[in-house]
Amino acid sequence: MLDLNGLKFTLFPNNGISHRYFPVFGIASIDPGFLRELRCPHAMKKNAFPIYTQPCGWNALLPSREALSPVIGNLDVQYVVVGAGFTGMAAARRLSELNPNASIVLLEASTVGEGSSARNSGFLSRNEYPSSNSAEAIEQNNILNGFNSEAFDGLQKIIEDHHIACDFHASGRIRAAATPEGANTLRKIQQALEATGHPTNTLDESALHKLIGTSYYKFGVHTDTGHLVQPAALIRGMLSALPQQIQVHENSPVLDLKQHGKKWQLKTSSAQITADQVIMATNASVKYFGYLQDKVVTIHTYAGITEPLKPSEIASFGSLESWGVLPAHRLGTTVRRVGADRLLVRSLYAYENSLSESVVHDALHRRFHNRYPELSHIRLEHVWGGVTALTLNGSPYVGSLAPGLYASAGCNGSGIVKGTALGSYLAELAHSNRTDPQILKAYGTANKILPDPFRALGFKVISAWESRKAGLES
């Protein structure tokens, strides 16, 4: 779960509106000590899909599995879904429901459990809160929660029906602040929640220490809404639960996509596929194929999970058996409990390119030990990065790119429930060729962004300024 709020970015066009915002991870932060890393990033070769140098920590906690075979030869099918994350699996499943006899191929560039969908913090929620207590915001939120609730309930039903062991459970949410400025921000959020009928509990430093075992935070707000999950276990379980009608191939990155008459041709290293319709559920990677380059930016984020703690050390986790903490500042750090004996810390980000492994390891360890100094001898056993896609106004792009070609991109760091909802919608759009104005009203639609170097310069300057303001929330 990425806590996304708006970061004002005046270099972007305002499209007739007084202010536009560039959304940034609430679990991200920049230290002055590695601003040089952002000016001189370790550039990755542009690929059709993210290439990760570190295994996903969530997946490393699970038993190994044998990957499904790559796609081989020449195929002619009705539907191809590219990307076996939450959006792609939802699209393939819904296509199967709408077309029980259709030929459906689902392609995954890497292996399920190692892709971007498994690299998040494992936060999800059935309902979102309105951005304000205005009538317009409440109406929009009600429409949004109609789609979110349907997607969440569908996920929960699959988990229960197929007995997916993914540690899916209700946990509530804690937003916590380490500074007076952060506390003031949370009080405003709390007031808005209470004004719209969402009950909250105020937590002082003592209460927070009792619940989560740290005195780092001075003020917090608790809400009942929120679940936690082991994301790699969930996405692997979703794969096993797909209808047999769907042909799934792993290690099958699409290297070329072009229109051929009324059909589409996709090439991998070992196959050529002709399809009537294609759904691109690849988030930011859709840019590789020339689409949405003016609407989506790629962001790398980072996380680490501790080694197992001894029984005598587990008391440091607090009295709650399950909890997740979101920061008061958009450039803060997310922390959550993982199972009975581990903690996760998620922070940092990089624009379009990855940070060096040494910078990531040092920064994540520092953030963890700042919050739990009594655990300064504990190391992060698994450290990894993940890629997501941001848009200017925090809204995704979802819809048709060309006749027979559909895409969803710009999850803005919240992909499990939203991705499931948008994947199902893309399948219905491909099936009926009819748009649903309600889903656009619920999620909005991505605005255009100025090209680089203006985009990169503005992002880094404003991000550095906001990270200074974040202070101890980092």
DSSP H helical ranges for 114-230: 135-161, 180-195, 205-212
Residues belonging to the chain: 474
Q: pLDDT tens, 207-231?
A: 999 999 999 999 999 999 899 999 9
Q: What is the pTM of this model?
A: 0.88
Q: Which residue has the higher pLDDT, 94 or 444?
A: 94
* Dihedral Cα 18, 22, 23, 25, nearest 10 deg: -140
Q: What angle do CA 335, 123, 466 make, to 5 degrees?
A: 55
Q: With pLDDT > 90 as the criterion, what percentage of the chain qualifies?
A: 70
**Range with the poorest average pLDDT among 10-24, 42-56, 83-97:** 10-24
**Sign of the alpha-carbon dihedral angle for 6, 11, 13, 16:** positive
Cα 442 from chain centroid (whole Å): 18
- What average pLDDT does range 285-290 have in this prediction? 94
pLDDT above 50 (res 44): no
d(CA 148, CA 442): 10
- What average pLDDT does range 83-94 have in this prediction? 98
- What average pLDDT does range 434-462 have in this prediction? 85
Whole-number pLDDT of residue 204:
97
Expressed in percent and rounded to 5, the helix, strand and coil fractions of the chain are 35, 25, 40
Q: What average pLDDT does the structure give for the chain?
A: 87
Closest CA to 88 of 235, 299, 228: 235
- What average pLDDT does range 131-142 have in this prediction? 85
- What average pLDDT does range 121-137 have in this prediction? 87
Whole-number pLDDT of residue 331:
72
Read off the tokens for 105. Answer: 């191929």
Q: With pLDDT > 70 as the criterion, what percentage of the chain qualifies?
A: 88
Best mean pLDDT range from 23-27, 308-312, 326-330: 308-312
d(CA 32, CA 468): 8
Q: Which residues of 267-296 are buried (b: 16+ CB within 10 A; e: fewer)?
A: ebeebebebbbbbbbbbbbbbbbebbeebb
Q: Which residues, 6 or more positions from 170, have their beta carbon under 8 angstroms from its beta carbon?
A: 226, 227
d(CA 91, CA 98): 10
Element of type H or E holding 169: strand 169-170
Q: Which residue has the higher pLDDT, 57 or 42?
A: 57
d(CA 472, CA 459): 21
pLDDT above 70 (res 21): no
Q: pLDDT tens, 393-417?
A: 889 999 999 999 999 999 887 889 9
pLDDT above 80 (res 430): yes
d(CA 337, CA 313): 13
Q: pLDDT tens, 168-182?
A: 999 999 999 999 999
Q: Which residue has the tokens 């002082």?
A: 204
Residue 297, strand partner residues: 390
Whole-number pLDDT of residue 428:
97
pLDDT above 80 (res 36): no
pLDDT above 70 (res 37): no
Read off the tokens for 451. Answer: 């090209």
Read off the tokens for 315. Answer: 């008391």
pLDDT band at 7 (very low <50, low <70, confident <90, very high): very low
Whole-number pLDDT of residue 196:
81
DSSP 316: G
Whole-number pLDDT of residue 336:
97
Contact 391, 412 (CB under 8 A): yes
Closest CA to 265 of 80, 43, 31, 65: 80
Q: pLDDT tens, 349-366?
A: 888 889 999 999 999 999
